């Protein structure tokens, strides 16, 4: 493989996650076994040409369209990209130079940079925290897998002479799978106590208590009460964690024994003891901030356990005649483990699994147990190395961006938006969203990398770059994808999913969206901005849903080029609404957005800029469409 082919493979969808290029119903071992004989055919594959195995539309023609990359239309688009994209960076850089009149307002928010002559904007608290802790996280990524291998060496899986061993194509027996689960879960269980204590100090006790109560809800309540009790308990836990500030020991001491002059000595001792416990809060004393992700794992365990009770009449593996060591992703998620695997030890090991504890991605309990028993074939050393390289490239990208574009510091420096031109306002907001995207991408990719090194393959959270999303609905399928999969499995489908066959079903679908995004907003944080953001997302989905009903693709199958152009015009407005919603939720808030919009439209130049920006967006959208067509020509049909 040449150096250019290797670089290209780093950016392949398959490098990010094998789930993107293979059916969720196909075991990945089968893909590996057929890889050599399919390599040539896949390289030449073109699903825009009719043939066997090609997905077709209602008229029997291929869904994938012939390539447009070498057409005059797209040569014009290349010219726009070559000229406009550098200009976009220049506009943001120009207002981030020391010579800018407003530089003094945010200079104090900048830090010394490693690029000569430039400071760096690390005023975003989340990215600053991640950036500061990268060396310590790298040590964890190195030593945690080493500790596991040492543990495995001192407590090896017992060998069985009558049990086939894994040798590439053969399987791991059920007995070996159980032994491997025993080994892995025992290590994860023990390491979790060390990890939680280091992270949260004595507050680890609070986490253990919450986990224990949740486990009791699943295993001790009558079956019919489990779903409702699970959701009520965990949503109440989110509110209680926020409102109580993490249940400070000193506050609990005041509640148990108020200082009212009676029993003063004993009360003072209790309060002092509570304050002493609070003083040992570990590396992250505010444990409740990161606990939102753990809540999702608690819900996953309880509902997986609840659904498993329907299948206790016989093993699902035996009924489907599946090889438990070679399950597809769909079967790993939907097939419950045996009753004994729902033990408190396995549950605790899953809920506090170190690589995924702080930021995810989210993996279901069923999937965790399956991968703990049988090593997933999708984890290959070469792919993991390329995934690690891609993470480093993303880290380098945000570092360069924050050295030359101070969009976050500008927004935090009490700016007078009237000092900026419409182009400057819009592009500062645009790059602010990209910083938001990158600061979330990096922790998710890092912790998934750690998990891959440790032998667990969770879903990738980010499929597309922020600038490669022409659909609001598809955007939310690809943004925080493991969370989206969680919502679909545990909330959206139980609510009834989506349907637009009748107006009643359409209204119900909208109601389901409102419920889901209200939960999403409250789950992120109990703030009005985020609640408004959640409702804005649903509101801004409506035009796309309505347009999909009024202009279905099947009516345009004889003129798909006109349909592509029509969709492009619609998506321009869609993207603007999506950017506004995310600015409200995660960047400048409602007041900041009002100021930005007022600044853009304060004179005629704002309207001129809006028309120009819409044309540029249209060009970008056509390229987004063609990227997806290129994937479909290779047989990859992603819904985002």
Q: What burial class does residue 132 get, using C-beta atoms within 10 Å of its C-beta: 0-12 exposed, 13-18 middle, 19+ buried?
A: exposed
Chain-centroid distance, C-alpha 191: 25
**460: Cβ–Cβ under 8 A, 6 or more apart, which residues?**
16, 17, 19, 20, 361, 445, 448, 481, 482
Mean predicted confidence (pLDDT) in 310-321: 64
Helix-then-strand count for the chain, H and E: 29, 2
**12: Cβ–Cβ under 8 A, 6 or more apart, which residues?**
none
Chain-centroid distance, C-alpha 492: 17
Q: In this structure, are residues 488 and 480 in contact, taking their beta carbons and an 8 Å threshold? A: no
Q: What burial class does residue 4 get, using C-beta atoms within 10 Å of its C-beta: 0-12 exposed, 13-18 middle, 19+ buried?
A: exposed
Q: Of residues 639 and 361, which shows the higher confidence score?
A: 361
Mean predicted confidence (pLDDT) in 41-60: 82
- Residue 119, classed as helix, strand or coil, is strand
Q: In this structure, are residues 33 and 169 in contact, taking their beta carbons and an 8 Å threshold? A: yes
58 has catalytic annotation: no
Q: What is the pLDDT of residues 23-42, one digit of tens each?
A: 888 888 888 877 766 766 67
Q: In this structure, are residues 574 and 621 in contact, taking their beta carbons and an 8 Å threshold? A: no
Q: In this structure, are residues 437 and 407 in contact, taking their beta carbons and an 8 Å threshold? A: no
Q: What burial class does residue 159 get, using C-beta atoms within 10 Å of its C-beta: 0-12 exposed, 13-18 middle, 19+ buried?
A: exposed
pLDDT band at residue 99 under the 50/70/90 scheme: very high
φ, ψ dihedrals at 119, nearest 5°: -90, 170
Please tell me which residue in 104, 480, 524, 598 is annotated as part of the active site: 524
The HSE-up count of residue 413 (CA atoms within 13 Å, CB side) is 20
pLDDT band at residue 540 under the 50/70/90 scheme: confident
Mean predicted confidence (pLDDT) in 77-97: 94
Mean predicted confidence (pLDDT) in 440-467: 94
- Residue 52, classed as helix, strand or coil, is coil
Mean predicted confidence (pLDDT) in 140-168: 77
In SS3 terms, 76-115 reads as HHHHHHHHHHHHHHHHHHHCCCCCCCCHHHHHHHCEECCC
Total residue count of the chain as it appears in this document: 640
pLDDT band at residue 260 under the 50/70/90 scheme: low
**497: Cβ–Cβ under 8 A, 6 or more apart, which residues?**
509, 512
pLDDT confidence of residue 610 = 83
Q: Give how far Cα 613 sits from Cα of 273, 429, 479, Å.
A: 61, 13, 24
Q: In this structure, are residues 233 and 217 in contact, taking their beta carbons and an 8 Å threshold? A: yes
Whether 250 has a pLDDT exceeding 80, the answer reads yes
pLDDT confidence of residue 549 = 81
- The mean-pLDDT minimum among 18-27, 76-85, 620-629 falls in 18-27
Q: What burial class does residue 504 get, using C-beta atoms within 10 Å of its C-beta: 0-12 exposed, 13-18 middle, 19+ buried?
A: exposed
Helix 174-200 / helix 125-154 crossing angle, nearest 10 deg: 140
pLDDT confidence of residue 583 = 67
Q: Of residues 54 and 588, which shows the higher confidence score?
A: 54
DSSP string for residues in 517-543: HHHHHHHH-S-HHHHHHHHHHHHHHHH
Share of the chain above pLDDT 90, in %: 48
Q: Of residues 114 and 268, which shows the higher confidence score?
A: 114
Share of the chain above pLDDT 70, in %: 90
Distance CA 534, CA 521 (A): 5
- Residue 212, classed as helix, strand or coil, is helix
Long-range contacts of 79-83 (CB under 8 A, 24+ apart): 80/616, 80/619, 81/619, 81/623
Distance CA 435, CA 195 (A): 30
């Amino acid at each position: 493989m040449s150096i250019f082919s290797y670089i290209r493979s780093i950016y392949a969808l398959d490098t990010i996650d094998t789930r993107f290029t293979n059916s969720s119903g196909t075991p990945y071992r089968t893909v590996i076994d057929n890889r050599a004989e399919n390599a040539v055919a896949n390289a030449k594959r073109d699903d825009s040409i009719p043939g066997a195995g090609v997905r077709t539309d209602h008229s029997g023609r291929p869904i994938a369209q012939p390539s447009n990359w070498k057409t005059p239309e797209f040569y014009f688009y290349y010219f726009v990209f070559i000229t406009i994209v550098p200009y976009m960076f220049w506009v943001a850089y120009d207002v981030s130079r020391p010579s800018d009149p407003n530089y003094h307002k945010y200079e104090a928010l900048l830090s010394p940079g490693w690029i000569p002559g430039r400071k760096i904007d690390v005023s975003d608290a989340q990215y600053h925290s991640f950036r500061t802790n990268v060396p310590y996280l790298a040590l964890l990524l190195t030593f945690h897998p080493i500790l596991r291998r040492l543990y495995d060496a001192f407590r090896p899986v017992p060998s069985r002479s009558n049990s086939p061993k894994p040798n590439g194509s053969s399987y791991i027996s059920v007995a070996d799978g159980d032994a491997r689960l025993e080994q892995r879960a025992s290590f994860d269980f023990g390491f979790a106590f060390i990890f939680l204590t280091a992270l949260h100090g004595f507050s680890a006790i609070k986490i253990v208590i919450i986990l224990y109560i949740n486990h009791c809800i699943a295993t001790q309540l009558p079956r019919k009460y489990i779903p409702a009790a699970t959701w009520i308990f965990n949503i109440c836990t989110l509110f209680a964690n926020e409102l109580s500030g993490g249940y400070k020991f000193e506050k609990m001491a005041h509640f148990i024994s108020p200082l009212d002059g009676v029993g003063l000595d004993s009360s003072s001792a209790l309060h002092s003891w509570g304050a002493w416990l609070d003083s040992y809060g570990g590396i992250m004393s505010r444990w409740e901030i990161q606990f939102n992700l753990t809540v999702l794992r608690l819900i996953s365990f309880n509902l997986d356990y609840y659904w498993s009770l329907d299948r206790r009449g016989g093993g699902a593996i035996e009924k489907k005649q599946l090889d438990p060591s070679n399950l597809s992703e769909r079967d790993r998620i939907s097939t419950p483990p045996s009753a004994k695997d729902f033990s408190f030890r396995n549950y605790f090991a899953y809920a506090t699994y170190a690589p995924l504890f702080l930021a995810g991605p989210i993996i279901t309990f069923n999937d965790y147990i399956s991968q703990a028993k049988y090593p997933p074939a999708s984890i290959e050393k070469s792919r993991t190395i390329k995934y690690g390289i891609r993470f480093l490239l993303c880290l380098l990208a945000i570092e360069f961006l924050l050295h030359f574009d101070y969009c976050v510091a500008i927004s935090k420096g009490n700016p007078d938006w009237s000092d900026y031109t419409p182009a400057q306002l819009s592009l500062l907001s645009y790059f602010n969203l990209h910083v938001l995207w990158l600061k979330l991408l990096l922790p998710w990719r890092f912790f998934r990398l750690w998990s891959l090194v440790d032998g667990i393959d969770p879903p990738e959270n980010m499929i597309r770059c922020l600038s490669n999303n022409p659909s609001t609905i598809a955007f939310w399928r690809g943004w925080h994808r493991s969370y989206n999969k969680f919502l679909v499995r545990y909330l959206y489908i139980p609510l009834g999913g989506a349907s637009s066959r009748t107006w009643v079903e359409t209204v119900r679908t909208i109601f389901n969206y409102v419920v889901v995004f209200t939960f999403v907003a409250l789950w992120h944080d109990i703030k009005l901005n985020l609640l408004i953001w959640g409702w804005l997302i649903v509101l801004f989905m409506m035009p796309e849903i309505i347009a999909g009903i009024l202009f279905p693709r099947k009516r345009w199958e004889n003129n798909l080029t006109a349909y592509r152009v029509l969709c492009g015009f619609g998506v321009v407005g869609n993207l603007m609404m999506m950017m506004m919603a995310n600015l409200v939720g995660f960047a400048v808030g409602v007041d900041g957005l009002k100021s930005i919009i007022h600044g853009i439209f304060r004179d005629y130049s704002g309207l001129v800029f809006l028309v120009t920006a819409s044309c540029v967006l249209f060009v970008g959208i056509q390229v987004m469409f063609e990227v997806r067509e290129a994937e479909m020509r290779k047989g990859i049909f992603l819904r985002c």
